[in-house]
Amino acid sequence: MVRSQIVRKINSQICGMSKGFYTDDYWAGVQYIQNSFKELEKLLNVDIILNNSKYENYEDIMPTSKRWVYLVDSKERKFKNQIMIVIIASGAGTVSDPLSKYDVISYAS
């Protein structure tokens, strides 16, 4: 399977998976996407590995979102350009606590 096919299949699986707003303290909307990774690994014969995660802050004071970046390694071949999966939980809460409510987007590229 070529790189573009893998990216397309990942996007068809994870894009729009976590619709709506979440108000939990443990990133349930993100975990819903992450739980689908085992199925994707088997289906596409790849490994999906967390590369990094970090909070993004407003003026280095208030966290406004959190970003997870995963790398996709093919067990069959090496790609010229690494496949990445990005998940972003963006704050949609109050001014004083932006992450009290959040929305999730995800995509592979």
Domain carrying residue 62: 3-108
Could you give the count of Cα atoms lying within 13 Å of 70 in the half-sphere of its Cβ? Answer: 24
Average pLDDT, the chain: 94
C-alpha to C-alpha distance for 17 and 78, rounded to whole angstroms: 28
pLDDT at 102: 97
The predicted pLDDT at position 59 comes to 85
Domains held by the chain: number: 1
- pLDDT confidence band for 31 (50 / 70 / 90): very high
What integer is the mean pLDDT of 92-105? Answer: 94
What is the structure's pLDDT at 77?
81
Average pLDDT over residues 42-66: 94
For residue 81, what pLDDT band results from cuts at 50, 70 and 90? confident
- Identify which of 106, 108, 88, 104 has the alpha carbon closest to the alpha carbon of residue 44: 108
